[in-house]
Amino acid sequence: MYATADDMRARYGETVLVQLTNAAAWDGTAIAALNVKLADATALADGYVAKVLGPSPTSPIPQLLVRIVCQIAFADLQRAPDDESKAQRAEAMTLLRDISRGLIKLDGGDIDALPARDGAVIVPERERTFSRDRLAGF
């Protein structure tokens, strides 16, 4: 996931999130409810940014992406979102579209360059030994 329950708590406050999740306190129930919405928002964001942000466990998640996922998850938590939440979700969706079009760059670097790898071997393809044409008549 691009964001965590702690990211949501830092942005929106514990009291608001506890109310939205219908939990008694900031406990496992509230965190689990947040994680469901964060997973949904992450899946939505993946659909837009997958072609420009490759999976890399060593690189940090861009803060813009954390903010976008938090905004979408927060709006989705509300049963009757207010105008501010609707506007934040619309802004997040616009940012995702701009990222997918290449208007906004997440990593700030060259996304087309392949990283160098030690011991990489490139082998040319050879013609197939067994094919329908070669096995004709058997």
Q: How far is CA 122 from the centre of its chain?
A: 31
Separation CA 98–CA 54 (nearest Å)? 17
Distance CA 119, CA 73 (A): 42
Digitized pLDDT (tens) for each residue of the chain, 138 residues in all: 889 999 999 999 999 999 898 888 888 888 999 999 999 999 999 888 887 776 666 678 888 899 999 999 999 998 888 899 899 999 999 999 998 888 888 766 544 544 555 666 667 777 777 777 777 776
- The answer to pTM > 0.85 is no
Are 34 and 8 a contacting pair, CB within 8 Å? yes
